[in-house]
Amino acid sequence: MSEASTDLLGKNYFQTREKLAGAIKALKVMGKDSGIDPGRLALLDNLMANLEDPFLFVVVGEVNAGKSTLLNSLFGEDFCESDVVPTTERIAFFKYGEEAHDFDFSKDIVEIFRPNAFLRDFNIVDTPGTNSIESEHQQITEQFLPMADLALFVFSVTNPWGATTWDFLDRIHHQWKKKIVFILQQCDLRTEEEVAAILEHLQKTAHHRFGQHFPTFAISAKQAFLAKTSESGNDELAAASKIQGLEGYISGVVESSEPRLVKLVHAWRAACYVLGEVKDRLGAAAEIIRADNELLSELEPASQVQQKRTLKKCEPLFEAFDQSFMAAGLQAEPLLDAEVRIISALVPKKSAAEEIEGLIFATTMKAVHRSVGAGANAIQEDVQHLWERVSQEMRDAFKLELSVGEDGDPNWKESHARIGEGVATATQQALRELHLKDELARLFMRRSKIIWGAIFTAILFILAGVILSMLQINPWNAIAFGVAGGCLALGAVAGASSVRKIRGYYMGVLKKHRGMVAQKQRDAFTKGTSEFYKDFVALFNPLRSVCQEHRDKYEPQLKVIRETEKSLAQLEQILAPVEKALSAKKKR
């Protein structure tokens, strides 16, 4: 459709037709995809083809009345020959063609094909001057008039009294005269007063001869053409040409053409009917996507809710982890007690500290393996129940069996084992951070040195006392024996203090690392539980793929349906009142 035709002549009609054409084009594609009866789609094609029939304008007037210039000015393109010499000897029928060429339809008619876009919407019949029309021309011209949407009778302002045009009007059947418009051309050659007088005379003559008035417009097509074809436009020329009134009238004719409006309404109604069929066909698809979104959107939230419940149920397990660590520490205390005895201090074992740490490690790990197994079983039980419920809902909704274990249930062994491995690894890492072995070994060695130092010192003073006694050196012998006793007493006190220090260090390390070990165990168990539930959600990935295929297939179609439905609803606001008016007119 040409820009000129939509911007000036029948803009509303062509916009409505274009919107309807877009909706019908979309419906044809959707209808074919959804299996609509091909006959209905062919009907849409035919209705749209009828709407695309060009409007037919017939132009009549004497030679040099300015018919060609008028046509050029209406469409803003120089497609008709316009010259002072009467060159139009045959009836020229202008049509759209991809390439410019002329076809001699007969000796009286030449079909002129031009790539001017507006010719898609408007076909033009440019006739020879009425003062040169031969009898054959007249007959052909009279045959075009019944098909015409509008007949433009052009009078030159320089000679509006030519009898041939009025005689030609006399011979036109009265029923076609309702399509006639009088155009007084070349008005720039007369004064406004003269133009007004000529217009009045034309109207009086028409009423006297035919008993009716014809729409009459006085214009300057030359000025209108110059205004439209100048690069920047010229509002003054456009206003001086006074062509706006004629263009408005022609637009009214285009937009009120009853046959065209009937076709528009029929095509719109047919499009609405086919849209209903398409929606019915794709309604199941819409429901599938809705079910997809509803079920899959609930899957992860349901998993997260159940995961929180599971972890809450496992709180006693975390307490058991904590108690197992402290119990291991208490279980290793006899080894510590044995190592802090006097005999052990005198003959210390190099591996004592390592044995204490090893016992804590082994006892804690044994308890963790026992407890985490029970926890993993509880998780598996909860996940299995969730699987049974959700998979049944999915089967009911999608009629799809998910590919899982041989017995129809998923194999949770790997997920189960991962929890135990994760907690065990975290516990081992936490226990390695105790660093108990090295510090205990240092403390044991220091205590041993203190005790042995006191004993050796005491022995030396005892020997000194014996020698002094043998030499009867008094009272130094007694002093030597007293110092020896004091060394032994000091050794006993230092030994007891070192025991308290060793015990305090041992219990302090246990208490300090108690929370850290428990937290790492809890974090590892929580992570394992989360991954267990992720494994559960991953079981539905094949279903996600199916749902994605549904969306990829149907969502574009549903989007087009929504857009088409919106377009047809907008057209309803325009065409429903037209349909009502046409129906009322038909009843009258």
The residue among 582, 588, 583, 587 whose CA lies nearest residue 261 is 582
pLDDT greater than 70 at residue 172: yes
Q: What is the pLDDT of residues 491-502, one digit of tens each?
A: 788 878 888 888
Q: Is 559 exposed, middle or buried (0-12, 13-18, 19+ CB in 10 A)?
A: exposed
Contacts of 485 (CB under 8 A, 6+ apart): 458
pLDDT greater than 70 at residue 291: no
pLDDT greater than 50 at residue 209: yes
What pLDDT sits at residue 500?
Answer: 85
- The pLDDT confidence band at residue 181, using thresholds 50, 70 and 90, is very high
The encoded tokens of residue 105 equal: 């339809």
What pLDDT sits at residue 587?
Answer: 75
Taking residue 259's Cβ as centre, other Cβ atoms within 10 Å add up to 10
Find the helix or strand (DSSP H, E) in which 111 lies: strand 109-114
Q: How far apart are the first and last CA of the chain?
A: 35
- The pLDDT confidence band at residue 471, using thresholds 50, 70 and 90, is confident
Return the domain boundaries, the chain. 54-256, 314-539
Q: What is the pLDDT of residues 44-80, one digit of tens each?
A: 888 888 888 899 999 988 877 788 888 888 888 887 7
**Between 454 and 288, whose confidence is greater?**
454
Helix axes 258-313, 476-538, angle to 10 degrees: 150
Architecture of domain 54-256 in CATH? Answer: 3-Layer(aba) Sandwich (3.40)
What pLDDT sits at residue 108?
Answer: 80
Q: What is the pLDDT of residues 514-558, one digit of tens each?
A: 888 888 888 999 999 999 888 888 887 777 777 777 677 777 777
Contact 507, 484 (CB under 8 A): no
CA gap 364, 499 in Å, rounded: 25
Q: What is the pLDDT of residues 559-587, one digit of tens each?
A: 888 898 899 999 889 888 888 888 887 77
CA gap 92, 38 in Å, rounded: 40
pLDDT greater than 50 at residue 85: no
